[in-house]
Each structure stands twice: as C-alpha cells, then as structure tokens.
C-alpha cells in the first residue's frame, strides 16, 4: 500500500506505529465487520487485553500512578493505526484513556488500578447537561460509548460557576442508561444516553477540575483527529486498490481523472491530518487540538464518501467494507461537540487569550 | 381567489413551485388537479404508513436483509402508485403531467422514507421500457395485469435490470458499452433467445414478477446488439439468488438476477434487436434521472424537516433556532432544496412537453380506444410484435418525439441528477454536524437520511458519469439520443 508519503517521524513513533498497525491487522481487522452487530463479543475483549499488553489502556497516566506515561502523540499514533482497521474500537480505546486523564491531577493510584482492570472500559460523557450539586449529579448526557454494567464514566459536570470532573459507575443508584441500538457509526461499542438522577459519584476531583477537563478535552479532540486520519488511510487504501482492479469505460478506473483527483485529495488529507495532529500535540493549548479535529474530521468524511463513490454500487453494500468508513467518519465529526459551536469557541478563546 | 379552490396541499405546492401556479393561471387546471390529488395521497401515505414504520423497518432490514415488507406494495396499490407510468387509456393514472407527477411524487414520498419510496418507484422504472418502446403487444397483458392487481391490492410489480457485475457505468453510455465486459448474453435460437449470465443490484429484483432486462446478443459487439427483453420470474432457469445489505434506502431490495439457460420468446423483445442503448436505456435515463434528482430532494427535505423540528425544540431552556447561525443554515438548506427543484422541474416539464404529445395523439388515442380484446387477438398481437408492427409504432413515436428533444431531456435529467444528489448529501451532512451529539429522534432520522442520500450519487449512473453526459451533450455534442427508427436492419447480419 502507498503510505503517507512525506511525513517523517522519529524512530520511537515509527516503531510504535508499526506495532500498533500489526495489532490492528491481527486483532481488529478480522472482527471489524463482525463486531458491527455484536457489541459485547469475546473478540472485543481479547483485543482489549492485547491493547493492555501494548500499554494502550492507561497510556497517558504517569508511571508513578501505575500508568504507561506515554505522550499524547504516541496515543494518537496508536489510535490512528487502530482506526485503520476499526474506528469503533479505536474510539472505545480513546474514551477509556481520556476518562483517566483527570486522575493524573489526583494522587489516586488506587483509582487508576480500579478503573483500568480491563473490563469494562471507562468512558467519558462530554455532551448534554450534567450538574453536580451537594455531592449528587443530575441531568443527562447523550452519546456515551463503552456503556456496560460497571463502566466508570467521567462526567463533565457543571459545579459552582465552572465545571469539574466527576466519576460515576453504571449500575449504581441514580445512574440510568438508555441504550441506542442503532447508532450511525462506531457500532462496536455500546452507545447510550446516561440519565443521572441524584447519582452519587465514586470520585470528584476537588482541585484542578477545570484544568483536568481541559486536558481531557484536548486528548479527546486529538484522539478523534487521529481516528479520523486512520479512516482516511483506510479509505485511501481500499479505494486505491479497488480503482486499480476495476475496469470501466475502457480503462481501469484509476486512469479516470475524476478517480485520480479523489485519491489525490485523500493523499493530501492524510498528510494534512498528520501535520495538524503533530503540531497540536506539541502545544499544551486546547485550540490547536480543536483545529486538528475539525480538519481531520472533515477530511475523513470526504475521504470515506469518495471511497464509497470510487467503489460505485459495491461501495454502498455492507460486504465491501466501505460504507462502514462513511458512517464511522461522520461520528468523528459530530462528537464530542457540534462543530460550529466549537468554531465560535475557538474565536472566544483567541479573544480572551486562553 | 386561488385560496378557495385549493386544498392546503395545493397551496403548499403553489408556494413551493410558483411555476405550477403559472400553469394553473394559464388554464392547465385539470391536469394540475390530478397532480395535487396525487401529492395529497402521497402525504397521506407518508403520514399513515411510511413514516410510522420507517425507522423500525430500516433497522430490521439491517438484521434481516432478506425480509421484504409486502405491505409497502399493498399500500402503494391503495393509492395507485404502481401505475403512475401507465396511461389512463390502459387503466393507469398517467396523464397530462406524467413526468412532473412522478418527480413530485418521489420528492414527497422520499421526504417520508426513501427506502419505501424506492420499492415503489423502482417498479415504475421497470414499467417504463414497456411504454417507451411502444411494445403494445404487452400493454394489454403485463400492464393490464399490474393495473388489475393494483385494484385488487394484489401487487404485481416490475424491475429494470441493466447493471451487471462488471459493467455499471458501462451500460449507461454508448461509448462505454462498446468496450464493456459483459456477463449476460442472449443467444438467438429458434423462436426466441437463451439468456445466460448475471445482473446485479437490481432494485425490487427479488419481488418483481416481470423484468425489463438489457442484454447483448453478442458480447463482442455489445453496443450494436444490445437488446431489451421482457423476462418473467417464472421462466425456467431464472432466479434471484442474492440480496445485498445496503447502507441506506433499505426497505427495498437490491438483488442479483441469475440467468441459467433462460428461454425468452421472440415476442418478448421490446423494440428492435440492437435498440437497447440508443432507444432503450438513454430514453429511460432521460425520463428517470430527473426523478432520481427528486428522490434526492425528498431525502433532503425530510432531513430538513427533522432538523427544523430539532431546531425549534427547547433544550435546557433554549431553542437552537434562537441562534442566528441556525437560522442562516436553515435558509441555506431551503436554498439547496429549491435549487434542486428548479433543476428537476425543468427536466420534468420538458419531459411532459415531449411525452405528452407522444401519448396523447390521434393515432395513439385511436389505438388505445380499440377494445383490448381486439389488440390481444393473435393476429393483432403477431402484427404488433412483427417487424412491420414495430416499424409502425416507431414511425408514430418518431413523428412526435425528435432526437433533439430526447437529447435535451437527457441533458436536463443528468444535470438534475448529480446536482440534486450532491446538494442532498451536503444538506444531510451539514445538518448532522450542526446537531452534533444529540440523543433525539430527529438525529436518528437525519442519520438515516445521510445514509439514504449517498445512494443518489451512485445509481442511475454515478455522478461522474452524469457529469460526462452533460459535457458530452452540451459542450462537445458527442452524445445524441436517437428515437427508435422504423425499418431498422437486423443486427446479427
Ligand atoms: C442500491 C442500488 C440500487 C440499484 N438499482 C439498480 C436497478 O434497479 N437497476 C439497475 O440496472 N441498476 C441498479 N443499480 C446499479 C447502479 O446503477 C450502478 O451501481 C451504477 O450505475 C454504477 O455502476 P457500478 O456500481 O458498476 O460502478 P462502476 O461503474 O464500476 O464505477 C466505479 C467508479 O468509477 C467511476 N467511473 C466509471 N467510469 C468513469 C469515467 N468514464 N470517468 C470518471 N469516472 C468513472 C464511477 O463514477 C465510480 O465512481 C443500483 C445500484 C445500487 C447501489
């Protein structure tokens, strides 16, 4: 396959990338399409176990707290490679890792241990309206993944005049879930809306809540950008291969300029995605992460849509593995917050110098 | 004054399509009343039938792709949607505004559920070649059976099969067909043809009783020998072994057709041998790509309705529509829809201007006013199916329909098709991005529209092919549709 042609990375990342790609090829590829309809399959948990062995389950948590202590770009590399085979699985990994970020701001090694046991994965609830008052959480949060009995969810909860990080556990009193059996994308992981009815959190970050949530958000945006980039790569790879073997209108279709342009755009998107992610990882700010997410998400949607188009009617059918990319890509763009809202926020951030 | 005469639906149509109002004011009230009545039926169909089951059915079809909800066809019978292309003289409902009505109907039905609408619409695509080829010998049998079935609510349906596993774009354009790698071949034998090979992705393929199928008589000379056949499901050797799991428009099936030594009698050739592309596919595409534009528009309109309802719903004390950016987006979306409608209506109205004369003229009216028993007499049937019978029909067609007309119709159809499809895709995509992570029924609907819309960029010729068609007709003049010629030479000579 043609790779990202120009982006050069240091050896450390290149090794990680190749390990993660092998992991994706051996653990995720064989089940990516099966998993579409089997939310809680043993294959999924086997892949989680392997991800754990590779240090992908508490990647960002420092070693002294029992984590792997890798940098954000490394996590992005692992997520991008995983997403090449299965964006839904990569998203599940991302939410788990993002959920642990606030613990970095605590000294709760015990919680890190408790939350990273492997099954179930943790998750984050960023959307919706949740409020923490007098030690109880109220409100609802849509678009929460990895939702199973026992899942610990990090909530972005309004508290006082700001927000803080609060963790609740599925299945405890006041935590209700409404599973959506039919989301557009990321079908591998259970997808639900959480309803908090005076739920008692298992842990609330007293200090540094705001900072912790900003770091979590940054992880989410960059991780999603990386997943989106993985989708672009898969779309390119599949479309390129297909275009070289499909004959139509007197040529193999890769010889039609309309097809070549689409493929070339995907190539730009891959390079662009890598570049914005790398750059944003080098900054501690949230802004560049949001910018990377916007770019990579839009690119993934376009690439997947073009990939389907290059496959013609076959692209539209489940059996050919293209349409899943189109559905998964859209969620990279729709989550964790609506795009225009984040655009406006970017300008606000720039104006206030934050 | 308008107000008193018009139903709410009529008023909405006139508001959305000022051109209809213009027609009304200039005296085309009779035809327009039929149009309005048809759209009222479509609204009722959506309200009482399609919308309440669309999401559930869509989900079910993902788990059980082989399932088909026959209630769709039975319900379509109730509203007579299965005979929108069948002339009134034959008991159908096609009248003065046949193409316009079809386009408006698809727009309306697809705003409810485009999967259900496709199940209904693909049938008419199958019917179309029986009409446009002037195959009168089958009008009193096949078309009559469809009409009678419809009246009894026992649906008899058709499908149109041109795509083959290795030839999709290739069967939509003469220049490409010439070099196509075909699977299906029809070998001439005594009294008919023997068909072997496959067709794929055929909408309604696993339900239809009759199929209009294009096949080459000689795979090495596909363009010259491309011929349209009427195939019946119970012909020996015919089967539909596979249905696909589609991303969207799921309520209808895309099926594979398998031909294993299927004998098709001479009487079942529609038009002349070798007329399958020029007179067959291109004429059908000229009439059907516009309605695909309206399918895309309907999907977009459905998405807009759900988006609007989301925008007007309070969440935590605020309504999205209270923000200017949402208002601006709504206006943009409406703009896309109206732009689409301008394009597909140009095509539809041109279609009616052309076909109107061909279906409603002294020769046709005389022929159709004969008792059907006369037309079905063996002698008459044999004549209509004969070389000279076809020559007569083609002479009439050519008298009323000119090559330039059909070529212009194809151009407007292709333009509407790709523009509407692209707009629909953009609209649905934008609506989802703006809604973001929402737990709402509206988001689920728009997600469905997003999946559904993608198909409109693919079928009836991909958007790339349709762009080429527009270029080839408008700017390079290398593509021209030929209306059937009488006294055509045999192609196998
Ligand atoms: C759900 C569904 C329902 C359908 N229903 C029917 C039906 O009822 N009856 C029927 O006969 N068919 C039906 N089709 C088939 C449909 O019309 C074809 O899928 C379509 O024409 C494209 O053909 P293809 O899939 O073979 O793609 P291909 O022709 O293989 O095209 C692959 C890619 O190559 C591109 N390409 C090809 N040639 C050129 C060129 N010259 N320049 C630039 N790009 C080019 C195409 O745009 C496309 O992106 C259906 C398809 C689907 C998906």
Structure tokens of B256? 């594979």
Cβ atoms of A73 and A292 closer than 8 Å: no
Cβ atoms of B400 and B358 closer than 8 Å: yes
Residue A59 pLDDT > 80, yes or no?
yes
Give A16 to chain B, closest Cα distance, Å.
32
Same domain, B312 and B452: yes
Confidence of residue B387 (pLDDT cuts 50, 70, 90): confident
Contacts of B118 (CB under 8 A, 6+ apart): B203, B249, B251, B252, B295
Per-residue pLDDT at B359? 81
Contacts of B63 in chain A (CB under 8 A): 37
Per-residue pLDDT at A70? 95
Cβ of residue B164 lying under 6 Å from some atom of ligand 1:
no
Q: Which residue has the higher pLDDT, A245 or B133?
A: A245
Name which of B166, B201, B200 is nearest B180 in CA terms.
B166
User: Within 13 Å and on the Cβ side, how many CA atoms surround A107?
Assistant: 0
Q: What percent of chain B has pLDDT over 70?
A: 98
Give B163 to chain A, closest Cα distance, Å.
10
Confidence of residue A9 (pLDDT cuts 50, 70, 90): confident
- Asked if the ipTM is above 0.95, the reply is yes
The mean-pLDDT minimum among A319-328, B27-36, B362-371 falls in: B362-371
Residue in B200, B245, B437 nearest the CB of A335: B437
Residue B2 pLDDT > 90, yes or no?
no
Structure tokens of A75? 């996590």
Structure tokens of A288? 């560049």
For B284, counting Cβ atoms within 10 Å of its Cβ (0-12 exposed, 13-18 middle, 19+ buried), the class is: buried
Q: Which residue has the higher pLDDT, A294 or B1?
A: A294
Residue in B246, B316, B464 nearest the CB of A316: B246
Same domain, B242 and B292: no
Same domain, B219 and B358: no
Identify the CATH number of the domain in which residue B58 sits.
Answer: 1.10.540.10
Residue B489 in domain: no
Residue matched to tokens 């809604």 = B435
Contacts of A183 in chain B (CB under 8 A): 447
Structure tokens of B234? 């119970």
Residue numbers of the domain that contains B264: 160-276
Three-class SS state of B452: helix
Per-residue pLDDT at B207? 97
Cβ atoms of B147 and B84 closer than 8 Å: no
Single residue among B232, B255, B276 that ends a domain in this structure:
B276
Maximum alpha-carbon separation in chain A: 72
Per-residue pLDDT at A1? 58
Same domain, B253 and B348: no
The mean-pLDDT minimum among A43-47, A101-105, A219-223, A246-250 falls in: A43-47
Same domain, B237 and B378: no
Residue B130 pLDDT > 90, yes or no?
yes
Residue B224 in domain: yes
Residue B208 pLDDT > 60, yes or no?
yes
Same domain, B99 and B193: no
Per-residue pLDDT at B492? 60
Name which of B245, B77, B422, B179 is nearest A306 in CA terms.
B422
**pLDDT (tens digit, 9 = 90+) per residue, A234-272?**
999 999 999 999 999 999 999 999 999 999 999 999 999
Per-residue pLDDT at B351? 96
Confidence of residue B54 (pLDDT cuts 50, 70, 90): very high
**pLDDT (tens digit, 9 = 90+) per residue, B332-378?**
999 999 999 999 999 999 999 998 888 888 888 888 888 888 888 88
Residue of A nearest to B460 (CA): A313
The count of other CB atoms within 10 Å of the CB of residue A174 is: 15
Per-residue pLDDT at B9? 98
Question: What is the atom index within ligand 1 of the atom nearest the CA of A253?
Answer: 34
Same domain, B405 and B371: yes
**Region B211-231 average pLDDT:** 96
Q: What's the pTM value of the predicted model, to 2 decimals?
A: 0.97
3-state percent helix, strand, coil for chain A, nearest multiple of 5? 55, 15, 25
Residue B265 pLDDT > 70, yes or no?
yes
**Region B200-217 average pLDDT:** 98
Structure tokens of B352? 């009616």
Per-residue pLDDT at B228? 96
Q: Bridge partners of B265?
A: B192
The residues in B 20-59 lying below 8 A from A, measured between CB atoms, are: 55, 59
Same domain, B468 and B406: yes
Confidence of residue A4 (pLDDT cuts 50, 70, 90): low
Note the Cα A275 to chain centre separation in Å. 18
Identify the CATH number of the domain in which residue B408 sits.
Answer: 1.20.140.10
Kindly tell me the sign of the dihedral angle through the C-alpha atoms of A15, A16, A22, A25.
negative
Strands A152-159 and A123-125: parallel
Single residue among B157, B182, B202 that ends a domain in this structure:
B157
Residue B480 in domain: no
* CA-CA-CA-CA dihedral for A321, A326, A327, A333, to nearest 10: 150
**Region B430-456 average pLDDT:** 96
Same domain, B341 and B398: yes
Per-residue pLDDT at B396? 85
**Region B5-19 average pLDDT:** 96
Single residue among B95, B129, B157 that ends a domain in this structure:
B157
Mark yes or no for CB contact A143/B437 under 8 Å: yes
Same domain, B269 and B293: no
Print the SS3 string covering A169-215: ECCCCCEEEEECCCCCCCCCCCEEEEEEEEECCCEECCCCHHHHHHH
Same domain, B292 and B267: no
Same domain, B195 and B269: yes
Residue B399 in domain: yes
* Centroid of ligand 1 to alpha carbon of A139 (angstroms): 48
Residue B434 in domain: yes
Contacts of B465 (CB under 8 A, 6+ apart): B169, B172, B173
Contacts of B200 in chain A (CB under 8 A): 313
Contacts of A245 in chain B (CB under 8 A): none
Domain count, chain B: 3
Residue matched to tokens 């050739």 = B269
Residue B486 in domain: no
Q: What percent of chain A has pLDDT over 70?
A: 96
**pLDDT (tens digit, 9 = 90+) per residue, B470-493?**
999 999 999 999 888 887 776 664
Angle of helix B98-112 relative to helix B324-359, nearest 10 degrees, comes to 150
Provide the terminal-to-terminal Cα distance of chain B, rounded to the nearest Å: 65
Beta strands in B141-209 (DSSP E): 158-161, 185-189, 192-203
Confidence of residue B394 (pLDDT cuts 50, 70, 90): confident
Identify the CATH number of the domain in which residue B174 sits.
Answer: 2.40.110.10
Best residue of B199, B418, B421, B454 to probe chain A, by most A CBs closer than 10 Å = B454
Under DSSP, the state recorded for A236 is: H
Question: What is the atom index within ligand 1 of the atom nearest the CA of B163?
Answer: 11
* Centroid of ligand 1 to alpha carbon of B213 (angstroms): 16
- Whose C-alpha lies nearest to ligand 1, atom 31? A312
Using a CB–CB cutoff of 8 Å, tell me whether B10 touches chain A: no
> Domains plus CATH for chain A?
11-115 (1.10.540.10), 123-207 (2.40.110.10), 211-352 (1.20.140.10)
The count of other CB atoms within 10 Å of the CB of residue A33 is: 15
Residue B83 in domain: yes
Residue A38 pLDDT > 70, yes or no?
no
Residue B130 in domain: yes
């Amino acid at each position: 396959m043609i790779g990202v042609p120009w982006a050069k990375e240091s050896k450390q990342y290149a090794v990680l990338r190749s390990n993660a790609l092998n992991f994706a090829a051996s653990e995720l590829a064989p089940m990516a399409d099966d998993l579409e309809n089997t939310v809680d399959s043993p294959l999924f948990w086997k892949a989680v176990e392997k991800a754990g062995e590779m240090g992908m389950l508490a990647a960002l948590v420092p070693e002294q707290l029992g984590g792997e202590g890798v940098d954000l770009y490394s996590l992005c590399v692992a997520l991008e490679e995983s997403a090449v085979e299965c964006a839904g699985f990569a998203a599940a990994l991302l939410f788990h890792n993002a959920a642990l970020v606030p613990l970095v701001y605590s000294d709760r090694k015990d919680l890190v241990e408790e939350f990273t046991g492997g099954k179930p994965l943790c998750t984050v609830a960023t959307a919706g309206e949740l409020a923490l008052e007098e030690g109880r959480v109220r409100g609802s949060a849509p678009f929460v993944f990895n939702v199973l009995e026992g899942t610990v969810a990090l909530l972005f909860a309004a508290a006082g005049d700001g927000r803080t990080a609060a963790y609740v556990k599925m299945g405890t009193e006041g935590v209700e879930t409404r599973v959506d059996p039919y989301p557009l994308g990321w079908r591998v992981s259970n997808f639900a809306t959480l309803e908090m009815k005076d739920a008692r959190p298992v842990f609330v970050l007293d200090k540094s809540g705001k900072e912790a949530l900003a770091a979590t958000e940054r992880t989410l945006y960059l991780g999603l950008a990386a997943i989106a980039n993985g989708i672009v790569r898969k779309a390119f790879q599949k479309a390129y291969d297909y275009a070289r073997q499909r004959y139509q209108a007197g040529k193999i279709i890769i010889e039609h300029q309309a097809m070549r342009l689409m493929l070339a755009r995907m190539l730009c998107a891959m390079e662009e995605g890598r570049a914005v992610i790398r750059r944003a990882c080098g900054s501690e700010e949230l802004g560049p992460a949001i910018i990377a997410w916007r770019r990579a998400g839009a690119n993934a949607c376009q690439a997947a849509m073009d990939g389907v188009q290059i496959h013609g009617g076959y692209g539209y059918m489940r059996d050919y593995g293209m349409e899943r990319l189109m559905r998964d890509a859209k969620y990279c763009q729709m989550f964790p917050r609506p795009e225009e809202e984040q655009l406006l926020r970017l300008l606000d951030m720039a104006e206030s110098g934050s | 004054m308008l107000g008193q005469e018009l139903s709410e639906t009529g008023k909405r149509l006139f508001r959305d399509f000022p051109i209809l109002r213009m027609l009304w004011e200039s005296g085309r009230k009779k035809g327009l009343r039929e149009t309005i009545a048809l759209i009222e039926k479509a609204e009722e169909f959506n309200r009482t039938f399609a919308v309440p089951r669309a999401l559930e059915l869509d989900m079910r079809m993902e788990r059980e792709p082989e399932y088909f909800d026959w209630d769709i066809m039975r319900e379509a019978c109730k509203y007579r949607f299965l005979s929108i292309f069948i002339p009134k003289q034959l008991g159908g409902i096609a009248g003065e505004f046949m193409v316009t009505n079809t386009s408006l109907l698809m727009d309306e039905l697809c705003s409810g559920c485009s999967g259900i609408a496709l199940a209904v619409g693909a049938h008419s695509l199958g019917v179309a070649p029986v009409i446009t080829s002037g195959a009168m010998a089958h009008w009193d049998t096949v078309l009559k059976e469809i009409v009678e079935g419809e009246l009894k609510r026992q649906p008899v349906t058709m499908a149109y099969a041109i795509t083959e596993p290795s030839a999709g774009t290739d069967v939509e354009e003469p220049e490409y067909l010439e070099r196509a790698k075909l699977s299906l071949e029809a070998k001439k034998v005594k009294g008919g043809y023997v068909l072997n090979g496959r067709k794929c992705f055929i909408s309604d393929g696993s339900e239809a009783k009759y199929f209009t199928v294009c096949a080459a008589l000689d795979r090495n000379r596909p363009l010259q020998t491309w011929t349209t056949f009427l195939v019946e499901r119970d012909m020996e050797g015919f089967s539909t072994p596979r249905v696909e799991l589609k991303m969207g428009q799921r309520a209808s099936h895309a099926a594979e057709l398998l031909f294993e030594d299927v004998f098709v009698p001479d009487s079942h050739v529609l038009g002349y041998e070798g007329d399958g592309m020029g007179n067959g596919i291109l004429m059908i595409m000229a009439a059907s790509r516009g309605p695909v534009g309206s399918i895309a528009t309907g999907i977009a309109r459905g998405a807009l309705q759900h988006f609007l309802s989301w925008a007007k719903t309070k969440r935590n004390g605020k309504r999205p529509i209270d923000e200017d950016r949402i208002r601006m987006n709504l206006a943009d979306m409406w703009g896309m829809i109206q732009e689409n409608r301008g394009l597909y209506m140009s095509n539809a109205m041109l279609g009616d201007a052309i076909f109107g004369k061909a279906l409603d003229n002294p020769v046709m009216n005389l022929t159709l006013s004969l008792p059907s028993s006369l037309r079905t007499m063996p002698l008459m049937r044999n004549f209509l199916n004969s070389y000279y019978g076809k020559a007569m029909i083609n002479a009439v067609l050519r008298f009323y329909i000119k090559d330039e007309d059909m070529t212009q119709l194809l151009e407007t159809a292709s333009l509407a098709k790709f523009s509407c499809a692209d707009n629909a895709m953009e609209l649905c995509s934008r609506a989802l991005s703006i809604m973001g992570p929402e737990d709402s029924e509206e988001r689920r609907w728009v997600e469905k529209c997003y999946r559904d819309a993608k198909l409109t960029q693919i079928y009836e010729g991909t958007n790339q092919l349709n762009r080429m068609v527009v270029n080839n007709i408008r700017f390079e003049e290398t593509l021209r549709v030929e209306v059937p010629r009488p006294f055509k030479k045999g192609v196998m000579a």
